[in-house]
């Protein structure tokens, strides 16, 4: 351990003043003055720590140690079993730790290449997820349509939305009987916010809502705050992370980051969040360390967005202007790559959780 006393250089002093000024400009509390509590529950998606290979019980222990309100299991493979007795024990454990559980799974669109075949038909897949959610006391099941490739198929995203709506309507009775709502995510650039709203309205907003993902908004050429304005009233749960978007020769690059380290004005985001969906848990899904290109200036790229709205694109371009290129994550030389990835994911999540609690006032536990 390095025990040498730190020495503040003139450059370091100037940098510290710059950081402090930026914090004040963003509306953050002064050092040592935590933000007032907003009453919004705070949790995280197990995918944030995907490299650890943990099962559900381990995640519950970790979430409790972080003094969180909720644990979001976004896939069905995180459980050791789908047997009722195991799930009831898991629910009891969560209750003893003071944690809510939210349940999720993956693609249910039968015509998407993302659609999993592990659990039978899409309807059977959703029925299983609903049963698991009911047993664990989750009020929702998160699912997805697919990814950005679904915008490029014949018939485009509208065809895929229509197929997903059919599946959702087929399980309506089962979901309502179980007291579980289906929360469809804007996932990996598949749908813009207004398209997801169309899906929800077509399927039935009495039992279908949104998993609002701020990071995935940027993959669909959206400003996360504009995405919040559209999806907030429909949000049943969330997947929140920060993003940096910067200009390239043929469009833009997007890199997701820990909360508070990207270009999203999170104090403003949370203020609006509390107005639009204060009872919706603020679930972090931190996926960072790599950048993806979005060459929207190439001639054919925007064919996947035939009905893109000018105001949405304008907001995305304005958001892009605030970003600067970031270096991707790379395991330090001489370190085990797997261990380095695990440490990196935990550090990204834990910094995000601290920022959410201290700077944004999220979480119901002191």
Query: In the prediction, which pLDDT does 366 show?
Result: 66
Q: For the ranges 14-23, 112-121, 316-325, which has the lowest average pLDDT?
A: 14-23
Instruction: Give domain status of residue 366, yes or no.
Output: no
pLDDT higher than threshold 50 for residue 108:
yes
Query: In the prediction, which pLDDT does 166 show?
Result: 98
Instruction: Render pLDDT for 2-24 as a digit per residue (tens, 0 to 9).
Output: 333 333 333 343 333 333 334 43
Query: In the prediction, which pLDDT does 176 show?
Result: 98
Instruction: Give domain status of residue 117, yes or no.
Output: yes
Domain count, the chain: 1
Buried b (16+ CB within 10 A) or exposed e, 148-183: bebbeeeebbeebbebbbebbeebeebbeebebbbb
Confidence of residue 174 (pLDDT cuts 50, 70, 90): very high
Question: If we measure between CA atoms, which residue out of 152, 231, 230 comes closest to residue 185?
Answer: 231
**End-to-end CA distance of the chain, in Å?**
31
Q: If you average pLDDT over every residue of the chain, what do you get? A: 92
Average pLDDT estimate for 16-39: 55
Instruction: Give domain status of residue 39, yes or no.
Output: yes
pTM of the model: 0.90
Average pLDDT estimate for 136-144: 98
Instruction: Give domain status of residue 189, yes or no.
Output: yes
Query: In the prediction, which pLDDT does 335 show?
Result: 87
Instruction: Give domain status of residue 57, yes or no.
Output: yes
Query: In the prediction, which pLDDT does 130 show?
Result: 98
Q: Which position has the higher pLDDT, 354 or 4?
A: 354
Which segments of the chain are extended strands (E)? 42-45, 70-73, 100-107, 140-144, 181-185, 208-213, 235-239, 242-248, 251-257, 282-284, 291-294
Query: In the prediction, which pLDDT does 55 show?
Result: 98
Instruction: Give domain status of residue 27, yes or no.
Output: no
Contact between 135 and 180 under an 8 Å Cβ cutoff? The reply is no
Instruction: Render pLDDT for 206-236 as a digit per residue (tens, 0 to 9).
Output: 999 999 999 999 999 999 999 999 999 999 9
Instruction: Give domain status of residue 22, yes or no.
Output: no
Query: In the prediction, which pLDDT does 32 show?
Result: 58
Q: What is the CATH number of the domain that holds 330?
A: 3.20.20.150
Confidence of residue 31 (pLDDT cuts 50, 70, 90): low
- Estimate the share of the chain in helix, then strand, then coil, as percent rounded to the nearest 5: 45, 15, 40
* Domain housing 304: 34-358
Instruction: Give domain status of residue 229, yes or no.
Output: yes
Q: Which position has the higher pLDDT, 308 or 5?
A: 308
Contact between 72 and 45 under an 8 Å Cβ cutoff? The reply is yes
The span from the CA of 238 to the CA of 216, in Å, is 11
The span from the CA of 190 to the CA of 220, in Å, is 7
């Amino acid at each position: 351990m390095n025990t040498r006393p730190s020495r503040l250089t003139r450059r370091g002093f100037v940098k510290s003043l710059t950081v402090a000024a930026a914090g004040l400009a963003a509306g953050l509390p002064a050092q040592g003055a935590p933000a007032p509590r907003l009453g919004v529950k705070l949790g995280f998606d197990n995918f944030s720590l995907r490299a650890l290979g943990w099962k559900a019980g381990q995640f519950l222990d970790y979430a409790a140690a972080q003094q969180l309100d909720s644990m979001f299991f976004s896939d069905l493979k995180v459980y050791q079993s789908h047997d009722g007795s195991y799930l009831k024990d898991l629910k009891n454990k969560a209750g003893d730790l003071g944690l809510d559980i939210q349940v999720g799974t993956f693609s249910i669109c039968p015509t998407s290449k993302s659609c999993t075949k592990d659990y039978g038909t899409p309807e059977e897949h959703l029925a299983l997820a609903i049963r698991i959610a009911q047993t664990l006391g989750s009020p929702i099941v998160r699912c997805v349509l697919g990814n950005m490739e679904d915008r490029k198929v014949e018939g485009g995203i509208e065809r895929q939305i229509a197929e997903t709506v059919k599946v959702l309507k087929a399980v309506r009775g089962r979901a309502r009987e179980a007291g579980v709502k289906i929360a469809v995510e804007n996932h990996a650039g598949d749908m813009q916010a207004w398209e997801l709203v169309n899906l929800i309205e077509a399927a039935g907003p009495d039992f279908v809502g949104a998993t609002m993902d701020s990071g995935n908004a940027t993959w669909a050429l959206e400003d996360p705050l504009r995405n919040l304005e559209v999806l907030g009233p429909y949000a049943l749960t969330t997947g929140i992370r920060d993003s940096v978007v910067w200009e390239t020769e043929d469009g833009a690059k997007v890199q997701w980051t820990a909360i508070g380290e990207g270009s999203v004005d999170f104090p403003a985001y949370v203020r609006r969040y509390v107005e639009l969906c204060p009872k919706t848990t603020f679930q972090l899904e931190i996926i960072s360390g790599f950048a993806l290109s979005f060459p929207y200036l190439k001639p054919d790229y925007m064919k996947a967005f035939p009905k893109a709205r000018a105001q949405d694109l304008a907001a995305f371009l304005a958001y892009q202007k605030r970003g600067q290129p970031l270096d991707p994550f790379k395991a330090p030389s001489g370190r085990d790559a797997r261990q380095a990835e695990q440490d990196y994911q935990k550090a990204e999540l834990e910094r995000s959780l601290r920022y959410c609690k201290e700077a944004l006032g999220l979480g119901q536990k002191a």
